[in-house]
Amino acid sequence: MSSRLKIAFFLRDIIQVGGVVTWLYYVISDLQKYHDVTLFYEKTDEKQLKRFKDKGINIKRLVNQPRTTFDVLFRGYDKDPKIKAKHRVHTMHACVSECDRFFYLAGKIDSFLAVSEEAKASFLKLYPKEKRPIHVIPNYVPLRSIPPTKPIKNGISMVMASRLTKEKGLQHLFKMVKELDHRQINYHIDLFTVFQKMPHLDNGKVSFHKPRLDIDFSKYHYLIQLSDSEAYCYTVHEALAAGTAVLVQNLPVFVDVVKHGYNGYIYPHLDKITDVPVRFNYKPTGSVDIWLNYLQKVIQ
């Protein structure tokens, strides 16, 4: 593509650490090298604001309707920001069934963008008569240098970063902890969540921490992500990219990413959890090139 496009992204709240915010951070960081990108928001905090600005991302609070008419606008499911654009894209980052009470097709929409085939399928299940184009661009995590092999010395170290609602596998976590205790496996879990205490996780092996932006996944043996519904899970990909194995549910979105025994295990099969997979290769699911090709098709 020869000319630079004017692209706007809108996310109402850039506050909680989560997949949509991480998606914006990675995608815009790369996309701004090729196009003029502006990220609009209504609410955020100083840490998030600094994070985006440190990457050189043009981020602005949306107070009044911008005078600029953008070539493309990407906006989320909860609000029409009234930003003028030649092409408006409604983005889908989760299975619609997980958040259908907050899913509004407000305002003018020219096409949809889903982060996975699973997200697209869930949308069509809710809106089977939808005729507007639905594109799929997998999220991606930049490759990192793989750390040295992590031997087990003082037990298995695990990490989990989740809001720990029902669909995020809270009951599965309770069962897994109970099973590990029953097997007398030496382990410790660092749990990054909005909660600071929780019943069934008071065995002294689970530490609660506030959500943060700079979790070093590479220092752990496993990342735990036991959701019952996922369209794409950034923490899983960030862990794999950092050389850390994962424990996940058997979901379609993980079938091509997690190979049982190679780079993680499918819960509830924990028979070989002490045989930590290390030094495996991670292949990103997407890239900025896919985005550039997509944009070329959208503006034709």
Q: What is the pLDDT of residue 125?
A: 87
| Order of all β-strands in the sheet with 264-266 | 206-209, 187-192, 156-161, 222-225, 245-248, 264-266
- What radius of gyration, in Å, describes the C-alpha atoms of the chain? 20
Query: What amino acid is encoded at 22 in this protein?
Result: T
- Which among 286, 277, 271 has a CA at the least distance from the CA of 258? 277
pLDDT tens across the length of the chain (300 residues): 458 999 999 999 887 667 888 899 999 999 999 999 999 999 999 989 999 999 999 999 999 989 999 999 999 866 789 899 999 999 988 776 655 555 667 789 999 999 999 889 988 988 899 999 999 998 888 777 766 667 778 899 999 998 887 778 899 999 999 999 999 999 999 999 988 788 889 999 999 999 888 899 999 999 999 998 888 899 999 999 999 999 999 998 898 899 999 999 999 889 899 999 988 888 888 899 999 999 998 877
Q: For residue 38, how far is the Cα from the chain centroid?
A: 21
Q: What is the pTM of this model?
A: 0.88
Domains of the chain, start order:
6-140+286-298 (3.40.50.2000), 156-266 (3.40.50.2000)
Residue 91 tokens read as 């983005």
Query: What amino acid is encoded at 24 in this protein?
Result: L
Q: What is the pLDDT of residue 17?
A: 67
Assess contact for 120 and 95: CB atoms under 8 A. Answer: no
- Spell out a b/e string for 281-296, using b for 16 or more CB atoms within 10 Å of the CB, else e: ebeebbebeebeebbe
Residue 93 tokens read as 């980052």
